[in-house]
Amino acid sequence: MTAPLRIALAGAGAFGQKHLDALKLIHGVEVVSLIGRELDKTRETAAKYGVGHVTTSLEESLARPDVDAVILCTPTQMHAGQALACLNAGKHVQVEIPLCDILAEGREVVRRQRETGLVAMCGHTRRFNPSHQWVHRRVQAGELRIQQMDVQTYFFRRTNTNALGQARSWTDHLLWHHAAHTVDLFAHQCGSPVVQAHAMQGPIHPQLGIAMDMSLQLKAASGAICTLSLSFNNDGPLGTFFRYIGDTGTYIARYDDLVDGKDQKIDVYGVDVSMNGIELQDREFVAAIREGREPQASVAQVLPCYEVLDGLERQLLADAR
């Protein structure tokens, strides 16, 4: 019998609960500690999911001998520092996207992971969605060469609220958070690094202090190009929609659904053991720990994405001056 893998989860908000739902479906996994900013709300969530230990302190959970690994669903600005704290405490860690919003901090996480040999991965869920896995397998098999990706990431978020409509204690960011999904996926799907990148942004919101609209252009070493439009102003269908234009077909991915260029549905139910990208992501984290191997979307694998984002941020700052 394999001993249960005991996990602490930090950040009991909207996305943390997606992970709690997913972890319930993975055999031999037990969530033993839940960390949240507000103790009473965290206790409510812990009671709902049957988690025995509740705290507002990550350090308290890291000190527990019954914690083997940690999943971080905390504000962006905490990600790199908390990932380092987990590694320094001898715990495997999965940090939700983005790995960092300061490149030097992301590089430090990668350096520390290499020193410890622990599993450290980042929540680049698009790598795990069955729709994108289906496309990736066609590329790997030599059946498709991506010429262009056209991506729209749209939300209606003119106030500082989360996916549940609750007030946030931190501010989300189109570049470091939402663009990270596509920048990483583009290079991953093409099997080729990003060699050119350009960004433009709209006006800065007077209260939130961030651009509400942004446009990115990318080019891979393979010659493939990507156009990404992002907005917090879009009053319509929400989420991210990917159009793959290849030499042998066009495909449109909407989370776990996939259609061809003529809107004919493609069956992706047999691609993996689940249709839930978060569950598949968590399964990879657990499997990598048990098998003692590097996970898909390891911090080292995704670091080039953040190097691109850093260059784009510097470009936007220079343009603003």
Q: What is the pLDDT of residue 1?
A: 47
* The residue to which tokens 């983005």 are assigned: 98
Q: What is the pLDDT of residue 172?
A: 76
Q: What is the pLDDT of residue 160?
A: 56
Q: What is the pLDDT of residue 58?
A: 98
Provide CB contacts within 8 A for 188, sequence distance 6+.
124, 127, 136
Q: What is the pLDDT of residue 3?
A: 87
Q: What is the pLDDT of residue 161?
A: 60
Q: What is the pLDDT of residue 122?
A: 98
Between 157 and 263, whose confidence is greater?
Answer: 263
Residue 198 pLDDT > 70:
yes
Q: What is the pLDDT of residue 223?
A: 98
Question: Among the residues of 69-220, which ranges form H helices?
Answer: 79-88, 103-116, 130-140, 180-190
Least confident interval from 12-21, 156-165, 257-266, 292-301 = 156-165
Model confidence at 31, pLDDT cuts 50, 70, 90, reads very high
Q: What are phi and psi of 275, to 5 degrees?
A: -95, 0
What do you get for the CA distance between the two ends of the chain, in Å?
61
Model confidence at 43, pLDDT cuts 50, 70, 90, reads very high
Mean pLDDT of 225-234: 96
Mean pLDDT computed over every residue of the chain: 94
3-state secondary structure 37-78: CCHHHHHHHHHHHCCCEEECCHHHHHCCCCCCEEEECCCHHH
Mean pLDDT of 193-202: 97
Residue 138 pLDDT > 70:
yes
Residue 224 pLDDT > 50:
yes
Residue 101 pLDDT > 80:
yes
Model confidence at 179, pLDDT cuts 50, 70, 90, reads very high
Query: Do residues 100 and 119 lie in contact, with contact meaning Cβ atoms separated by under 8 Å?
Result: no
Model confidence at 19, pLDDT cuts 50, 70, 90, reads very high
3-state SS assignment for residue 152: strand
pLDDT digit string, tens, across residues 235-246: 988 889 999 999
Q: What is the pLDDT of residue 321?
A: 81
pLDDT digit string, tens, across residues 209-222: 888 999 999 999 99
Percent residues over pLDDT 70 in the chain: 95
Mean pLDDT of 268-283: 96
Residue 81 pLDDT > 60:
yes
Mean pLDDT of 4-33: 96
